Amino acid sequence: MLEEAKGKHTSLQEALSHQILESGFSSQQEVSLLLNEQVDPEQWEQEIKTYESRAELIKAKLKELDENEEVRQFDENKFRDLTLQLQAEREALDQINMQLAVTHQEIEEIRSKLDQKTALGKELEKVEKREMNLKELERLFKGNGFVKYVSSIYLKELCHTANQRFMKLTKNSLSLEIDEDNNFWVRDYLNGGKKRLLKSLSGGQTFQASLCLALALAEKVKSLNRADQSFFFLDEGFGALDRASLRTVFEALKSLRHEHRVVGIISHVEELQQEIEVYAKVELDSETGSLISYSF
């Protein structure tokens, strides 16, 4: 009986071990520990229901994936290759981002240098302008440069004032100009506004230009002296004028009365003498010499 009992015990022990392994346990001790724990049936039941619910959802998802053509055609090797390619491209992207950061830094440095260049350019422009002014002053004060510079300014002002009368006398056909060397030129508006030499003027036109310059000079002297009247003489020069030019010049001289000017004329031209009301006449007598008579 003892032997029989030992045989049954061994058989039961083997059956128990086999059952434990089939149930997913590793040892009898693990089962004993589990049996000694206090188990809440309701909690286990709820966990089982939750597990079964999740299992159903997973089965449904697996079924859906099995029916998907793309999932069925999934190639693990290709997926592995794509994964490796993605990793390589990410590393390349990281490298590009690093290079881009370096490039941005270089751009900021270049912008900073450009700002410095702009500031230096403005400073250089000021220095060059100052250098140009200093060279101009050196040129002006070297030799007769300053005198020439000042005289050029006065001559241009004188020429501008003289043109106001000269263009009237020439009926807006001629005007006077001054070049950089303080030489007089004539602008001929009847010939397309071309410049020509002053010596190309006729005798009458030359007298008209001289008269206008003399009047302009008198105006300048008058303004410097702050005088109410001005007086000057015109000695000859009228003999080069024709009758029409003589009339034009004489009318211009008479208009000076309204500008509080007194003009003395020295002339042998009879046509001009007849137009002058107040005069002093000088006649040569062979015995007594020069005789002076007055109209007043």
Asked whether the beta carbons of 230 and 222 are under 8 A apart, the reply is yes
What percent of the chain has pLDDT above 70? 92
Cα distance between residue 236 and residue 211, in whole Å = 11
pLDDT tens per residue, range 206-233 = 878 888 888 888 888 777 776 666 677 7
pLDDT tens per residue, range 56-95 = 898 888 888 777 777 777 777 888 888 899 999 999 999 9
pLDDT value, residue 240: 66
Cα distance between residue 81 and residue 62, in whole Å = 25
Q: How confident is the model at residue 31 (pLDDT cuts 50, 70, 90)?
A: confident
Tell me the C-alpha to C-alpha distance, in Å, between residue 282 and each of 253, 267, 286: 22, 11, 13
- Show Cβ contacts of residue 283 under 8 Å, excluding neighbours closer than 6 positions: 290, 291, 293
What percent of the chain has pLDDT above 90? 22
Burial of 231-257, coded b for 16+ CB within 10 Å and e otherwise, reads eeebeebbebbeeebbebbbebbeeee
- Sign of dihedral through CA atoms 258, 264, 267, 270? positive
Q: Taking the domain 147-294, which CATH number applies?
A: 3.40.50.300
> Does the pLDDT at position 281 exceed 90?
no
The backbone torsions φ and ψ at residue 227, rounded to the nearest 5 degrees and listed phi first, read -95, 150
Range of weakest confidence among 107-116, 214-223, 229-238: 229-238
Exposed / middle / buried, residue 188 (Cβ in 10 Å: 0-12, 13-18, 19+): middle
Q: How confident is the model at residue 237 (pLDDT cuts 50, 70, 90)?
A: low
SS (H, E, C) 15-58: HHHHHHHHCCCCCHHHHHHHHHCCCCHHHHHHHHHHHHHHHHHH
In whole numbers, what is the pLDDT of the chain averaged over residues? 82
pLDDT value, residue 119: 93
Mean pLDDT for the stretch of residues 230-250:
72
Q: How confident is the model at residue 185 (pLDDT cuts 50, 70, 90)?
A: very high
- Sign of dihedral through CA atoms 155, 161, 164, 165? negative
Q: How confident is the model at residue 189 (pLDDT cuts 50, 70, 90)?
A: very high
Q: How confident is the model at residue 177 (pLDDT cuts 50, 70, 90)?
A: very high
Mean pLDDT for the stretch of residues 19-36:
75
Q: How far apart are the first and last CA of the chain?
A: 192
The backbone torsions φ and ψ at residue 276, rounded to the nearest 5 degrees and listed phi first, read -95, 125
Exposed / middle / buried, residue 269 (Cβ in 10 Å: 0-12, 13-18, 19+): middle
Rg of the chain (C-alpha set) = 61
Q: How many CA atoms lie within 13 A of 169 on its CB side?
A: 28
> Does the pLDDT at position 236 exceed 70?
no
- Show Cβ contacts of residue 206 under 8 Å, excluding neighbours closer than 6 positions: 198, 240
